[in-house]
């Protein structure tokens, strides 16, 4: 918790400093009667998510207002018209309020804090302090990579809407490392980034905390580059993110059952009915598009797309065993749209499907429920066919 005393704001317009023995620092800033003013200063704490509170005096002799902007974020306006029981027309302990202005707001070091006040009658917009309580970083939901520039982005979603977008550590455009997926690989409730080295077959991880890169990790090398990573999900219901593979030469399909970033066991996908390896010829007709719990049974299923009909199916899985194929819905997607992965955007227990149109920059979410495709919802666009998303 960090409290910044209002009288320490270096730039005051129409606000003046007054002594007040009931203020934490012994002083407040205030306006004259029926006037407006501003107080500004630079936010010099670390970049992150914060709860924001304000300490002020709410007396009974007017209805003044306070509006705070931090960077580009406008916080809710305070109307000082709800004095505490026992408060009078004097700024003392009985009229002091410590109120939450925002439960969470992303603030960058260097952002400008602007307090705008308007007094009313004898209530002179007396402000004691502004308080910042740093919060645990929310997990990123969607990672983006620009193959032309090497830039990377992270999106935090608010349901199907974009909540926050921020650049993250870049990786050179000519690097052999390709972003291949995302998932929580170190069990810290933060989504991490999965990479594959297209020269050596190495598998690597960026362990993340929100928008921040924490550390790197590596796993077992797969030197046969015919094996491609096609998705992530918890196939064995142990709470660990596993990795889905497809061999583009043989048509074989497999899952790495993971223990954090370490390979625990590699397992071929088999039919539950006969135990045989389930091979899908790589003839261009069927494309494996990702993995996710599409039937809300606690383990990951596998998305497939028919490139002729554009129908989308999923393999309903029992662990690493195929049970049956399920048509998601009758709404086909044109060749311009690509499936980019799955996550539960609406928190109903069913993973939803993220799609992208690289030509237009449009992004769409197929919301899933127990009957299949519930509805298709447009979300924030990102222009440029060099941008690809990973969930």
The pLDDT-based confidence of 330 (bands split at 50, 70, 90) is low
Nearest to 80 by CA among 108, 51, 60, 102: 60
Q: Where are the domains of the chain?
A: 2-134, 142-390
In three state form, how does the secondary structure of 3-49 look?
EEEHHHCCEEECCEEEECCCCCCCEEEECCCCCEEEEEEECCCCCEE
- Segment (H or E) for 89: none
Range list of H helices, 137-189:
none
pTM for the complete prediction?
A: 0.80
| Matching fold, domains 2-134 and 142-390 | no
Contacts 24+ apart (CB under 8 A), 79-82: 80/56, 80/120, 80/123, 80/125, 82/58
In this structure, whether the domain defined by 2-134 belongs to CATH 2.40.110.10 is answered with no
* pLDDT 10s digits, 244-289: 999 999 999 999 999 999 999 999 999 999 999 999 999 989 999 9
In three state form, how does the secondary structure of 152-165 look?
EEEEEEECCEEEEE
- What is Dmax (Cα atoms) for the chain? 84
Q: Are the C-beta atoms of residues 356 and 340 closer than 8 Å to each other?
A: yes
* pLDDT 10s digits, 87-122: 999 999 999 999 999 999 989 999 999 999 999 999
CATH class of 142-390: mainly beta
pLDDT of residue 14: 98
Average pLDDT along the chain: 96
pLDDT of residue 73: 95
* pLDDT 10s digits, 45-88: 998 899 999 999 999 999 999 999 999 999 999 999 989 999 99
CB atoms within 10 A of CB 246: 21
Angle 186-191-194 (CA atoms, 0-180°, nearest 5)?
80
pLDDT of residue 331: 63
How far separated are the first and last CA of the chain, in Å rounded?
33
The pLDDT-based confidence of 137 (bands split at 50, 70, 90) is confident
Q: Which residue has the tokens 């790197």?
A: 216
């Amino acid at each position: 918790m960090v409290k910044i005393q209002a009288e320490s704001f270096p730039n005051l317009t129409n606000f003046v400093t007054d002594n007040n023995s009931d203020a934490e620092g012994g002083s407040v800033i205030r306006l004259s009667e029926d006037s407006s003013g501003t107080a500004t200063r630079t936010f010099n704490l670390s970049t992150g998510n914060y709860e924001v509170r304000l300490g002020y005096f709410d007396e009974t002799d007017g209805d003044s207002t306070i509006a705070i902007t931090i960077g580009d974020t406008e916080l809710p306006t305070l109307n000082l018209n709800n004095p505490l029981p026992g408060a009078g027309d004097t700024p003392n302990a009985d009229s002091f309020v410590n109120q939450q202005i925002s439960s969470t707001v992303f603030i960058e070091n260097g952002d400008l804090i602007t307090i705008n006040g308007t007094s009313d009658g004898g209530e002179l917009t007396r402000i004691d302090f502004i308080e910042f309580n740093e919060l645990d970083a929310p997990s990123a939901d969607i990672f983006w990579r620009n193959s032309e520039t090497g830039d990377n982005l992270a999106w935090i979603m608010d349901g199907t809407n974009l909540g926050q977008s921020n650049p993250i550590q870049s990786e050179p455009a000519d690097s052999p490392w390709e972003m291949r997926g995302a998932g929580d690989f170190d069990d810290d409730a933060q989504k991490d980034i999965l990479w594959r080295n297209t020269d050596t077959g190495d598998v690597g991880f960026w362990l993340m905390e929100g928008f921040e890169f924490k550390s790197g990790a590596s796993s077992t090398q797969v030197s046969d580059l015919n094996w491609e990573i096609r998705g992530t999900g918890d196939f064995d219901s142990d709470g660990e993110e596993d990795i889905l593979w497809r061999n583009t030469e043989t048509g074989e399909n497999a899952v790495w059952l993971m223990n954090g970033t370490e390979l625990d066991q590699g397992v071929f996908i088999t039919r539950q009915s006969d135990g045989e390896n389930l091979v899908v010829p790589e003839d261009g007709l069927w494309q494996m598009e990702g993995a996710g719990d599409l039937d809300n049974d606690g383990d990951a299923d596998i998305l497939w797309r028919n490139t002729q009909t554009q129908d989308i199916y999923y393999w309903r899985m029992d662990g690493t065993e195929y049970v049956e194929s399920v048509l998601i819905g009758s709404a086909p997607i044109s060749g311009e749209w690509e499936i980019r992965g799955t996550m539960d955007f609406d928190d109903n227990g069913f993973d939803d499907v993220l799609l992208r149109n690289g030509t237009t920059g449009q992004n769409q979410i197929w919301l899933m429920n127990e009957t299949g495709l519930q509805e298709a919802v447009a979300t924030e666009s990102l222009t440029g066919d060099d941008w690809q998303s990973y969930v």
